[in-house]
Amino acid sequence: MKKGRGLKRAVTPLTREQLESMPTGALLARLKRLRWCEDSPETSDLSEDERATAAHLILFKSDLAWRQAYADMTDILACREHVAAKP
């Protein structure tokens, strides 16, 4: 999976119930996408128009929606089974 640039980094918000029904691999991929979000609008190269078109998406780590999505992901993944890495 590539990082993408601009609005391609945006993540769609999901409810906790939707997240709990997802397989672990999909959750880990979503966690990676959340980590790829930009830090804040001030450091972003997105224009105001681009940000306005993606107002319903998660774009920045400084947003409350990002913090809630990240917390939900880590809580759900903490309850999933862990597979030890092969030596």
Domain ranges, ordered by start, for the chain: 10-79
Average pLDDT by consecutive 10-residue portion of the chain (87 residues)? 64 94 93 91 82 87 95 92 65
pLDDT of residue 34: 94
Give every CB contact of residue 59 below 8 A, 6+ residues apart in sequence.
7, 9, 10, 37, 38, 41, 44, 46, 51
pLDDT of residue 2: 47
